[in-house]
Amino acid sequence: MTTTLSFEALGLAAPLLQAVQALGFEKPTPVQAEAIPAALQGGDWMVSSQTGSGKTAAFLLPVLHSLHLENEQNPPARLPRPAKGGWVPRNAAPAAPRAVVLCPTRELAQQVAADAIDLVRGSRGLRVATVVGGMPFGKQLADLQGASLVVATPGRLLDLAERKQILLDAVQVLVVDEADRMLDLGFAEDLEAIHTLCAQRRQTLMFSATFAPRIMRLAAQVMREPGRLELATAQDKHVNISQTLHWADNLSHKRALLDHWLRDVALEQAVVFTSTQADADMLADTLQQTGHAAVALHGAMPQSVRNRRLQNLREGRIRILVATDVAARGIDVPSISHVINFGLPMKAEDYVHRIGRTGRAGRSGTAITLAEHRERHKIRAIEQFTRQPIAASTIAGLEPTPPKPREPKFNARPGQRPGRDGGRPNHHRGGPGRPGGGRPEGGRKFGGPRRDAGAQEG
């Protein structure tokens, strides 16, 4: 996934080149080779790229390079020392970062901030802070002192701006990561507000899985004649991820198929995706009872619990994470060998993000999707979106019952129309409290975005 171009040829500041080398990145990935020179040249850019393609460094490196240049031209006054124990002096000036990266989820923000910290390790005078909801304000405010780059979720950033604890007028570059997910989560108004607060900036970079019309409308609102870089898109095949589909008769058949895969000797760590928060809790409990080191992760949990569980996953203390789509982006754990779709995603594009949790950093991965026949239309939607079929296969002893042949076409008298379900009872309408029902992650159907309510992002 790399190119023939070298990082040196991109003209990045020496400490950044050293950091890249220390991370073991030998050559820029295609998105880096395209986006870094474009961003360095100036102007606004929209970039579409595949998950796991190295896009984080594709925006962090040019942003950090420009912060280096600014530091050279205007050496910053002595950096205030980070306050200990989350204490901020009463007379401290509000934080005034020069670059802001916006992420849709707290997990993604924390991952991006961790990547940024790795990249500024050898740089003097560059400090990175993370601003996400669900975490105590005190430590975040202390970290913000003297931070030049802030990685944030929109809700908490706006809260701090409204309290005048952060000023956004000095922001030179604004990056919107995963813009499509931002819109899914109802952050359009927050983005507009942040756009207004960072009015002095000279550059906006927007990364998105697609350039769908809604993304183009957002770009028209917050960017100035952006250039477009269309790299590998969601439709490109993940060559290093083997994708398999198993048809299941019902929930217990799905559980048996899941159990089969969780016993696969090649499985190092797995993320098992469910459709709802309730399903994630229930399935994690069931797996624990059957002896699997599994925990749940979803947006209704306190952020501290989410963080701890992710850290345990990173450090190999848990083998199986049962998660909603809150984990579909931003988790970068190379030892995740398997992604299992126990519940199908709400949106076809989330399938691509989910399976992108495996096969990272050049490794190979396995993506298994379990679907009931009644979900055939959802599988078709995924296949249409990715423009590739998912090969169905069976496991000896766990074969599905062949689907009944289609009933003969409704033989209606003129003017009479068949009922929606062909008269058959629908056993599968989920609702809260029923298996398959409960609350899906993310999509806010009603009302506007909710800030920092704990259950959602912000």
Cβ at position 301, least distance to ligand AMP in Å: 23
Q: Is 241 an interacting residue with respect to ligand AMP (CB under 6 A)?
A: no
Among residues 140 and 358, whose Cβ is nearest to ligand AMP? 358
Report the largest interatomic distance among the alpha carbons of the chain, rounded to a whole angstrom: 85
CA 361/CA 7 separation, integer angstroms = 17
Q: Are 27 and 134 in contact (CB under 8 A)?
A: no
Of 184, 135, 174, 164, the residue nearest 46 (C-alpha): 174
Among residues 165 and 235, whose Cβ is nearest to ligand AMP? 235
Residue 150 DSSP SS3: strand
Piece in contact with ligand AMP (CB under 6 A), picked from 51-59, 72-80, 182-190, 236-244:
51-59
Size of the site for ligand AMP (CB under 6 A): 14
Per DSSP (E only), the strands in 209-302 are: 227-230, 241-248, 269-273, 294-297
Q: Which of residues 57-86 bind ligand AMP (CB under 6 A)?
A: 57
CA 251/CA 28 separation, integer angstroms = 44
Among 98, 360, 378, 451, binds ligand AMP (CB under 6 A): 360
Q: What are phi and psi of 423, to 5 degrees?
A: 85, -10
Q: Is 361 an interacting residue with respect to ligand AMP (CB under 6 A)?
A: yes
Piece in contact with ligand AMP (CB under 6 A), picked from 46-54, 69-77, 100-108, 268-276:
46-54
CA 120/CA 17 separation, integer angstroms = 10
Q: Is 55 an interacting residue with respect to ligand AMP (CB under 6 A)?
A: yes
Among residues 240 and 286, whose Cβ is nearest to ligand AMP? 240
Among 54, 299, 400, 442, binds ligand AMP (CB under 6 A): 54
Q: Are 179 and 207 in contact (CB under 8 A)?
A: yes
Piece in contact with ligand AMP (CB under 6 A), picked from 21-29, 86-94, 146-154, 342-350:
21-29
Among residues 298 and 360, whose Cβ is nearest to ligand AMP? 360
Among residues 53 and 337, whose Cβ is nearest to ligand AMP? 53
Q: How many CB atoms lie within 10 A of CB 138?
A: 13
Among 12, 13, 25, 123, binds ligand AMP (CB under 6 A): 25
Among residues 33 and 158, whose Cβ is nearest to ligand AMP? 33
Of 453, 445, 454, the residue nearest 185 (C-alpha): 445
Among 18, 37, 43, 53, binds ligand AMP (CB under 6 A): 53
Among residues 332 and 452, whose Cβ is nearest to ligand AMP? 332
Cβ at position 344, least distance to ligand AMP in Å: 24
Among residues 239 and 391, whose Cβ is nearest to ligand AMP? 239
Can you read off the two tokens belonging to residue 265?
A: 């000797």
Cβ at position 20, least distance to ligand AMP in Å: 7
Among residues 115 and 285, whose Cβ is nearest to ligand AMP? 115
Give me the DSSP letters along 387-452: TSPPEE---TT-PPPPPPPPPPPP-PPTT----TTTT---TT---TTSTT-SPBSS---SSS---S
Residue 25 DSSP SS3: coil
Among 184, 325, 332, 350, binds ligand AMP (CB under 6 A): 332
Q: Are 131 and 166 in contact (CB under 8 A)?
A: yes
Q: Are 151 and 103 in contact (CB under 8 A)?
A: yes
CA 111/CA 60 separation, integer angstroms = 12
Among 52, 104, 134, 458, binds ligand AMP (CB under 6 A): 52
Q: Which of residues 418-457 bind ligand AMP (CB under 6 A)?
A: none
Cβ at position 346, least distance to ligand AMP in Å: 22
Please tell me the number of Cα atoms within 13 Å of 305 on its side-chain side: 10
Among 13, 19, 28, 44, binds ligand AMP (CB under 6 A): 28
Piece in contact with ligand AMP (CB under 6 A), picked from 48-56, 193-201, 252-260, 309-317:
48-56
What are the residues binding ligand AMP (CB under 6 A)?
Answer: 2, 25, 28-29, 32, 52-57, 332, 360-361
